[in-house]
Structure 1
């Protein structure tokens, strides 16, 4: 397993060195559990949206600023996910109203055709490496 992204040991410097070596799409890199632990399909799309990067971009082609934005987006989106109870289908206990609530707060994931929360363009659904992928073609470059 790769590093835990919310651990204090997960630093911008370490991430920067690792992402520069990745020639694959950001989407597939982020969901690779050997690269970073715990990021799945939903969070990878949300992270790319937060960083304003297309999921098809390649890690080794990102600028210093884009790599930094991606690192900070990982932190922001995962902490946001935690605050909404994450993304899980089943509540932990009968009166649990928090677990799994992140699905209702996604920016782009499963929002095909809906307006982008930033620019109001339609959210696009595509497939990348056989995974459904959601993004805004207008504000993700």
Structure 2
């Protein structure tokens, strides 16, 4: 699933291209992708003719800002892609929605597994989406402070890996970067969150910011499906220390990286230098 660095990279690759364009028409090939409104004809009626004012992001969600205070909220889920392509290019398999833009380009939503979602809302209705209603602070925002993060862990007895994946605690972290920040901060993923010492929490906080910044600089991580809005792959997969490196030597202590299920998710860690 695209995490914060991937979704931010998509946003950056599309923002200047889309701003100011008009949505002249749209084709929907898989109607279930649109969750709100449930009336597809109503969705088309509202969106057609709207001008794109900008593209924002909240956590793993993309927010396409439209005229008349409408917002199209897009969640890519596991395999979703949002691609800006010339209108003469062949429509590929698994393309579920096409926005026809006023400059002879398309914005296409492509999703192999069909888990992605699209909502059309007014800008004051974002909290009607469950995933946005209680979204935690963004790792690179002013709201994500060491104290806020420490306070959020104090009452959590769940394993720290599970807590990091909770979007109410930190917005945008997923399986890849949770593993990487825990390695960076020398913390085992199965530690209870409230067992961490103050200095460990501080180190984890710094690691989250560091790893997310680096991943954005590398334009995200591509293993299979993820590409940016121009179809370009990310590069951060070449910089991962533990994720998908099972039995390879740790870059710090040479101990083989291990993989196990923690809270239902595959977790990668070094048993030699994470404690």
Q: Structure 2 matches for 1:11-30, cutoff 5 A?
A: 11-30=145-164
Runs of 4+ with deviation above 6 angstroms = none
Q: Which of these residues, 188, 197, 206, is aligned with residue 72 of structure 1?
A: 206
Q: Which deviations, in whole Å up to 9, do the C-alpha atoms of 1:39-83 show, x marking residues without a partner?
A: 000000001000100000111111111110110111111111111
CA distance in 2, matches of 1:20, 1:47: 19
Q: Structure 2 matches for 1:52-131, cutoff 5 A?
A: 52-88=186-222, 89-92=225-228, 93-94=230-231, 96=232, 99-131=233-265
Alpha-carbon offset, residue 87 of structure 1: 2.4
CA distance in 1, matches of 2:205, 2:155: 15
Contact 2:149 2:169 in 1 (8 A): no
- Whose helix proportion is higher, 1 or 2? 1
Alignment TM-score, normalising by the size of structure 1: 0.93
CA distance in 2, matches of 1:79, 1:26: 21
CA distance in 2, matches of 1:18, 1:130: 22
* Residue 133 (str. 1) matches residue 267 (str. 2): yes
Alignment TM-score, normalising by the size of structure 2: 0.49
Q: Which of these residues, 132, 138, 149, is aligned with residue 4 of structure 1?
A: 138
Q: Structure 2 matches for 1:20-59, cutoff 5 A?
A: 20-59=154-193
Q: CA RMSD in A?
A: 1.2
Q: Give the greater-gyration-radius structure (CA).
A: 2
Contact 2:183 2:242 in 1 (8 A): yes
Count of residues in correspondence between the two structures: 138
Bigger relative contact order (CA 8 A; separation at least 6): 1
Q: Which sections of structure 1, spanning at least 5 residues, go unmatched? A: none
- Whose strand proportion is higher, 1 or 2? 2
CA distance in 2, matches of 1:42, 1:82: 13
